[in-house]
Amino acid sequence: MIWADNLGVTYPDGTPALHGVTLRITPGEFVFLVGPSGAGKTTLLKLLLGILRPTEGSLTVGGLDMKHPAGAGLRNLRRRVGAVFQDFRLIKGRTALENVALGLWVLDLPGAVIRERSAAALEAVGLGAKSQVRLETLSWGEQQRVALARALARQPALILADEPTGNLDQGAAALVMELLLALQQKGTTVLVATHALALVRDLGRRVLTLQEGRLVQDTAR
């Protein structure tokens, strides 16, 4: 699913972000990505989505060369990926259900299927009763779960999650991880960037550790 060889990124202003990262994540794996703020976790996730391009080495996601992706290939890849970022990228003035549904229109699904998937995803994250509530009236943690529901509704082959349990209480965080683990058991590849080291230890999954833009530990090795 993901193959990086000596992967590196330097921003246009000369700021280095990643250096010499080599890793392989096979289809259906559940992997944690950890490291201090500024270690390169979000940069790596953006590379995997094609928001950034590698400046060194190579990166392949789902068979697509992310250094020189064709437009159609990148669009097709993004249809297969569910992403949850820290800024949520939700739309104020819309309901929770509408926010989830908006992420499905690009898949060219029938309206009835979009509504069904969106409602089911909100139920899965414990927000079924708030499907018609406008985004701005939801708490920060509830908005985070709406963002997760939007990713789940796509039924993706790959989920990229940046701090999906941040700002959630213990019960809500446990629910989110249960959902991600259930998806992985069905064959979805899951990569979770997190600072929640206790959670990482409790689940006992593969861990990639970044520090100052370098991969300093991979527990699969």
Closest by alpha carbon to 182, among 5, 13, 65, 28?
A: 28
- Amino acid identity of residue 132, one-letter, is Q
Q: Within 13 A of 212's CA, how many CA atoms are on the CB side?
A: 0
Beta bridge partners of 64: 61
The token pair that represents 83 in the structure block = 């992403």
131-154 pLDDT tens trace = 999 999 999 889 988 999 999 999
Dihedral sign of CA atoms 108, 112, 116, 118 in order: positive
Nearest-5° Cα angle at 117, 111 to 118? 85
Q: Round to whole Å and give the CA distance between 149 and 142.
A: 10
CB 84 within 8 A of CB 148: yes
Per-residue pLDDT at 108: 83
Q: Give the containing element (helix H, strand E) for 208.
A: strand 206-211
Tell me the three-class secondary structure of 86-119, residue by residue. Answer: CCCCCCCCCEHHHHHHHCCHHHCCCHHHHHHHHH
CB 99 within 8 A of CB 150: yes
Per-residue pLDDT at 144: 86
Per-residue pLDDT at 98: 96
Per-residue pLDDT at 86: 76
Q: Within 13 A of 184's CA, how many CA atoms are on the CB side?
A: 20
Nearest-5° Cα angle at 75, 74 to 77? 65
Per-residue pLDDT at 106: 79
Per-residue pLDDT at 146: 93
Q: What is the mean pLDDT of the chain?
A: 92
Rounded to 5 degrees, φ, ψ at 120 are -65, -40
Which segments of the chain have a pLDDT < 50?
Answer: none
- Amino acid identity of residue 39, one-letter, is A
Per-residue pLDDT at 109: 87
> Taking the domains of the chain in order of start, what are their residue ranges?
29-51+71-218
Per-residue pLDDT at 85: 83
Closest by alpha carbon to 96, among 135, 129, 153, 139?
A: 135
CATH topology of domain 29-51+71-218: Rossmann fold (3.40.50)
